[in-house]
Chain A
Amino acid sequence: MGQKTPEIYSVELNGAKNMQQVHKVGGQEKQIGLKRHPQELQKELDLDDHKLSNKDLERKHDTNIVTGLSSTQATERLARDGPNTLTPPKETSEVVKFFRQMVGGFSILLWIGAVLCWIAYGIQYSNDKSASLDNVYLGSVLALVVIFTGVFAYYQEAKSTNIMASFSKMIPQQALVVRDSEKKTVPAEQLVVGDIVEVKGGDRIPADIRLLSAQGCKVDNSSLTGESEPQSRSCEFSHDSPLETKNIAFYSTTCLEGTATGMVINTGDRTVIGQIASLASGVGNEKTPIALEIEHFVHIVAGVAVSIGVLFFIITVSMKYRVLDSIIFLISIIVANVPEGLLATVTVTLSLTAKRMAKKNCLVKNLEAVETLGSTSIICSDKTGTLTQNRMTVAHLWFDNQIFMADTSEDHLNQVFDQSSGTWTSLSKIIALCNRAEFTPGQESVPIMKKAVVGDASETALLKFSEVILGDVMDIRKRHHKVAEIPFNSTNKFQLSIHHMDNPSDPRFLLVMKGAPERILEKCSTIMVNGQEQLLDASMAEAFHTAYMELGGLGERVLGFCHLYLPADEFPETYSFDVDAMNFPTCNLCFVGLLSMIDPPRSTVPDAVTKCRSAGIKVIMVTGDHPITAKAIAKSVGIISANSETVEDIAKRLNIAVEQVNKRDAKAAVVTGTELKDMNQEQLDELLANYSEIVFARTSPQQKLTIVEGCQRMDAVVAVTGDGVNDSPALKKADIGIAMGIAGSDAAKNAADMVLLDDNFASIVTGVEEGRLIFDNLKKTIAYTLTKNIAELCPFLIYIMAGLPLPIGTITILFIDLGTDIIPSIALAYEKAESDIMNRKPRHKKKDRLVNAPLAIYSYLHIGLMQALGAFVLYFTVYAQQGFRPNTLLNLRVDWEKDSVNDLEDSYGQEWTRYQRKYLEWTGYTACFVGIMIQQISDLIIRKTRRNSLFQQGLFRNKVIWVGITSQILIALVLSYGLGSVTALNFTMLRPQYWFVAIPHAILIWVYDEVRKMFIRLYPGSWWDKNMYY
């Protein structure tokens, strides 16, 4: 890994200076970020361990550098300081969560209803000791309903939290620590201040440590500071700021190479990262759009319920009903109006979708985030790993004066360039030999591209590339025995090795070399074209430069390759090569070719970006990478579309200064972190508003937050991807934070609402699709559920106003809401999209509501009313056929309900006892119940689509709907015929023919809705469309 320095990248040649600045910028920003929280800064300043000498350190932390702490000391300190882990963000306690479910949404209304019931009974009881217990039952049932739905919602939430919890459980980290003069491996969480730990390349730093000794130690601080380059660490005190000094390594960063010994100076939450993590948890969560929508909906429905209830309370009181009766009416109206089962249904629907998304590699932490993703209008995506494959891959080759393209797809198999040339033979040999990377053993069955490799990114790329094309590289290397090697270093900027030829009769040595192209070219005097060595003349050099610039312009990392056959007479087989004395030629070599590498885009990404674009979602790339590379990737995945130009492009094309270009002509913009830093809020807003294709390059994770806030000022719903700890504020701030499952840090995963298990951008798009679908389907579910409320409410109003015997009882209503209707409303979640939902704009957070006026009006005043009429027909039929014709029923209520009247006369002169009437009343309840149920089937079927005809959608594509319908009928059958004899439930055995009375109304509902949809399709944008489309 030692060879990896930025200098090798050709693109860095013109960007190196810029990079330095950016690093500083990153540092400054960090300071700014901390200044927002003075207390945190204060804590930061307390850290002075880096200034102390080793002796002072020993004294301060009461330890011994050589022998370490004793086990007893360690145990004491562990007890005093607690384990060395980050406290997870404060979770709301389970009890609070539970109670929140108990009083949230409609629950509070139902509680009021239950309490009113009990109060009513109390009053009745104080007047008459033998008062019937009906109200107590009803109150208890209501309370049970609340508790049941509350427990259910709580369970659902807990389940989804558990998925996440299990996910975040990591393999415990181990640390190598010196205790009692012995080296021991202990779990990292048992480290205490004063422990002496050893780290080596590949380890995660187990705590904040002050280095005591280090050999070529480099750490990756990107998760902490966003610096993407490895930082070298030694034991010298180099800077006053603890963040900048070289002798401190921070918890959760990674040691990339080298080894180091250090003393633990801070553990757990007292580490720097711990402080940042707690800072991130300070950024509150936005309420998710769907949560807002549901709140909005609950407000509407509760408002309707309460106002109708109060209105009728006033009416009944002024109609001289007893206040007690009026209270009971009030309760029934509330119960009829509140869709008790809906919130549970929504939860189930969301978790079903969450499950479906998990299958597609989107793990949803927060159920409501499912829909948020659907309303996303801007995605701020990382580049590395999300848009790209996160591995260097050979993209282009230049030899024989020609640029060839290599296959950069995930499997690499489709290499089409010309491999017949002699130059390729030589080049491939150099690629294979001049390479120190090796496959880790024991992965024979793993596909080449997936094999683990020891070596840095570019060497790995070259190794895999040659392995795919040439076959067993290790064998080639074995056959060409290596006799000498100069590894890469930043002064040489090349790597060289000398090998025997594989042909034993050929005594020559082969010298192969690769490195920065211009340095390689300097060393060459000839060039190989079509397998023949030619003199490297000016025209060839020109061709080289053109190719080099072109490949560099693509944002690729370019390497040059050359070789030389050492003449056998000068270098006999026994010649001893000395790499320090360099007793072999390193100039006048033969240039063979160039090879360029890039971290290529994932093959699914361009499609996904196109989908986003047609779905009206703006994709913004935010990366720490170099602008040229960023732009190249943006272009190749379509974030910057093929025909759009940046201001700079236009300037270049027209050959004018950048300032002269009319900014309106450019659709795309590449903005660096430095530029972004100089912008004020208005300029950023303008930038975000005016350019449809934006790439932010060289940005620090802190700037992500600025970008997210900018997008949110435009009322956009922003999805942000991120992996580092420093991304967590942005992830929290975003409407939906998406953490990377593979590359992401724990802090990022904690802050995010969703985790992409495969780190793939395309998965986000799948998520968007699911999110949009769920929004549509929730609309359908709600419309379906709201409809029958009118059919439940109207009978009650008629009962009060016209004095009919009560058509439907409160408990019966609960059986519809929580019995027959539940499975069908969940079934709507399985409905397929009506049209290509990825071809419309994202919904506007504030304008396109889940429950809008047309939906409520159409459900309540159209379908709901038709259902009510259908239920009434059934009700009147039952009564008329038993002897009470409709005209007799009018104003019969008072006598009907009197317990002392046991000879109430019907339309035929027959006389009824109270119980006989009661039984008839229950038959009426059952009839209404069946009537509503039958019409709800029709309602369910029409709700499958909002615009398309059912025949377009297909009646049988969603099988779950039919499961729902079957369940509806079965539950009704069981209630009527199975439980018909249980008095408390108020169901009776209904005559079979009554099950069919409401069918004409059900058909009417269906026909009416088809007509509605037809007009909507025929006259889009018309008055009808505006008023009838929900």
Chain B
Amino acid sequence: MVIQKEKKSCGQVVEEWKEFVWNPRTHQFMGRTGTSWAFILLFYLVFYGFLTAMFTLTMWVMLQTVSDHTPKYQDRLATPGLMIRPKTENLDVVVNVSDTGSWDQYVQKLNKFLEPYNDSIQAQKNDICRPGRYYEQPDNGVLNYPKRACQFNRTQLGECSGIGDPTHYGYSTGQPCVFIKMNRVINFYAGANQSMNVTCVGKRDDDAENLGNFVMFPANGNIDLMYFPYYGKKFHVNYTQPLVAVKFLNVTPNVEVNVECRINAANIATDDDRDKFAGRVAFKLRINKT
């Protein structure tokens, strides 16, 4: 015989629920008496209090093992990535020359991004360093803090500095500047004491054709060794990241161009299959002209 489910009328179900919520005979609310509820609440208060304390304690102990200025492990950051400015949603720079609104936000972002590079600010905060060699500031047993940073003046970006530039970094004329920057990695001696530079190419052959000419600032897309090593946000307070600006002069309009820029440095591999941004950056460029 198949088990016959006891058929309950709707009223009975409601009745049962009512009794479950408040049982007047046993004075039980949701199956427990007042004292039982008090016990259980007290128990969980204590128990969870204890667990929270325990968790906090272990987290505190764990954080004690982590230094303030250098992360314990940097194995994941062996190859710094490259990135472009202006930062866009899908790494595509689309400029409608005639439509101010389409590039105005890029300009705003760039203005803000380049503000710390203003010569006045740089001169005020940072040192003039000797180019061509690392600017090392070892602790030598005593905490050398804060560490000094080298100047990277906005004027070094030449036509892309945007200073007194009526073309708005070239966006209004269809000759946009894109800024390449290399990710900061603490204690990373980029270039292994040899000079390094950024180069850009069209990704495929037709891209290369469509890309046309471009100029780079500083010249040849050089990045100087003096900006390395980086000592971390906390110690290297006014660190100014070196930039390379690329001004695209005659991109074929109304075509999407895939551009890839990479850093040529002795100790930066740029051929990682999985990490498409290791030592390189790919972005799309499209200039719409009517």
Contacts and interface: CB of A to CB of B under 8 A. Distances in A.
B48 to A, nearest CB: 8
A86 interface: no
A391 interface: no
Contact of A908 (B39, B82, B91, B234): B234
B232 A908 contact: yes
Interface stretch (B11-19, B121-129, B180-188, B196-204): B180-188
Contacts of A872: 55
Interface in A1002-1030: 1004, 1023, 1027
Interface residues of B, number: 53
Contacts of B142: none
Given A869-B54, A902-B277, A913 B81 contact: yes
Interface in B260-279: 272, 274-278
A877 interface: yes
B21 to A, nearest CB: 16
A913 B275 contact: yes
A297 interface: no
Given A883-B71, A912-B81, A915-B278, A862 B47 contact: yes
Nearest to B36: A1023
Interface stretch (A184-192, A279-287, A335-343, A657-665): A279-287
B66 interface: yes
Interface string A763-806: 00000000000000000000000000000000000000000000
A328 to B, nearest CB: 20
B236 interface: yes
A906 B183 CA distance: 11
A913 B278 contact: yes
Contact of B66 (A292, A881, A903, A916): A881
Interface in B75-119: 76-77, 80-83, 87-91
Contact of B281 (A283, A902, A908, A919): A902
Given A865-B51, A908-B71, A900 B77 contact: no
Contact of A916 (B51, B76, B184, B186): B76
A873 interface: yes
A745 B44 CA distance: 59
Nearest to B72: A881
A912 B78 CA distance: 11
Interface string B54-78: 1100110011011001111110110
Nearest to B89: A900
A877 B62 contact: yes
Contacts, number: 130
B74 A911 contact: no
B93 to A, nearest CB: 12
Given A912-B81, A912-B183, A283 B1 contact: yes
A916 B81 contact: yes
Interface in A471-501: none
Please classify how large the interface on chain A is, using the bins under 10, 10 to 19, 20 to 34, 35 or more: 35 or more
Interface in A141-164: none
Contacts of B234: 908-909
Contacts of B1: 283-284, 286, 733
B277 A915 contact: yes
Contacts of B73: 881-882, 991
B3 A287 contact: yes
Contact of B277 (A283, A873, A906, A913): A913
A882 B278 CA distance: 18
Contacts of A901: 87
A900 B76 contact: no
B76 A284 contact: no
Contacts of A287: 2-3
Contacts of B89: 900
B70 A915 contact: no
Interface string A877-918: 100111101100000000000001111011111111111100
A983 to B, nearest CB: 7
Nearest to A128: B90
Contacts of A1027: 40, 43
B71 A915 contact: no
A876 interface: yes
A866 interface: yes
B149 to A, nearest CB: 12
Interface string B151-182: 00000000000000000000000000000010
B71 A983 contact: no
Given A880-B66, A900-B91, A1023-B39, A910 B277 contact: no
Most buried by A among B36, B59, B65, B69: B59
B47 to A, nearest CB: 7
A915 B63 contact: no
6 contacts: A286-B3, A908-B70, A909-B236, A912-B81, A916-B76, A1023-B39
Given A286-B2, A902-B281, 5 more contacts: A886-B63, A902-B277, A903-B83, A910-B230, A911-B81
